Chains A and B, each alone.
Chain A
Amino acid sequence: GAVVSQHPSWVICKSGTSVKIECRSLDFQATTMFWYRQFPKQSLMLMATSNEGSKATYEQGVEKDKFLINHASLTLSTLTVTSAHPEDSSFYICSAGGGDYSNQPQHFGDGTRLSIL
């Protein structure tokens, strides 16, 4: 159980393009999902907390107009990288948990590798 699916797994696009990444909880409902960014050989950096039916909470230094998050249902959150540039190239990962985060693990998608030319 507790499967999180992320799509697409790899995107290559030109600078200036907007890219949408989907995160789905396949066998459970997730009122909250998390979006992370990861650089090579580094840890996960939390970008934002996606809340179903309300606005996302962004971490300090993350531009909310650059990284648009929509959590329209209990099983889907999307991250849109608007007008992407080469510096936005990275590995983006989402996670979700089934309930009380104080005693249940987050389950991660397999990530999306974004390459901006």
Chain B
Amino acid sequence: GESVGLHLPTLSVQEGDNSIINCAYSNSASDYFIWYKQESGKGPQFIIDIRSNMDKRQGQRVTVLLNKTVKHLSLQIAATQPGDSAVYFCAEYAGNQFYFGTGTSLTVIP
């Protein structure tokens, strides 16, 4: 099957610092990628997406970077806030299906 991320790493950052969450994917044919945020007991919430013809896309306080050469995706959160604490998933679209990574648990320290 597809492999998008392997473990559930954790990341702790101080409030106000920038956060970088990484994701590796395995299917070089994937052409659409999404980052989701999931808070405890809730469904994943769309954050930002990027297509394979782009290397970078910016949203409000978030930036997604795509490196197709090494099949790597990252999510950068600027000025991290306590409300950003959640599990973040990357997803790739391949073969008419979305594949989700294991997720990264982000904890923001006040």
When distances are taken between beta carbons in the complex, the residues of chain A under 8 Å from B31 are: 102
Q: A4-B43, A108-B45 given. 8 additional CB < 8 A pairs?
A: A43-B5, A43-B100, A43-B101, A43-B102, A44-B89, A105-B46, A106-B98, A108-B44
CA–CA, A44 and B41, complex, Å: 13
Most chain-A CB neighbours within 10 Å: which of B31, B89, B100, B105?
A: B100
CA–CA, A103 and B5, complex, Å: 21
Nearest Cβ on chain B to A109's Cβ, whole angstroms: 5
**Contact bitstring A20-42, B, C-beta under 8 A = 1, else 0:** 00000000000000100000011
CA–CA, A89 and B43, complex, Å: 17
Q: Does A113 sit at the interface, judged by CB under 8 A? A: yes
Nearest Cβ on chain A to B34's Cβ, whole angstroms: 5
A-B interface contact total, Cβ < 8 Å = 53
Nearest Cβ on chain B to A104's Cβ, whole angstroms: 8
Interface residues on B, range: 20 to 34
Number of interface residues of A (CB under 8 A): 22
**Contact bitstring A58-76, B, C-beta under 8 A = 1, else 0:** 0000000000000000000
Contact of A43 among B34, B43, B89, B93 (CB under 8 A): B89
Can you list 15 residue pairs at the A/B interface with Cβ under 8 Å?
Answer: A34-B98, A41-B8, A42-B102, A43-B5, A43-B100, A43-B102, A44-B100, A95-B43, A101-B96, A102-B93, A103-B32, A105-B49, A106-B98, A108-B36, A108-B43
When distances are taken between beta carbons in the complex, the residues of chain B under 8 Å from A103 are: 32, 51
Q: Does B97 sit at the interface, judged by CB under 8 A? A: yes
Q: Does B42 sit at the interface, judged by CB under 8 A? A: yes
Nearest Cβ on chain B to A15's Cβ, whole angstroms: 23
When distances are taken between beta carbons in the complex, the residues of chain A under 8 Å from B43 are: 4, 6, 93, 95, 108-111
Are A101 and B5 touching (Cβ within 8 A)? Answer: no
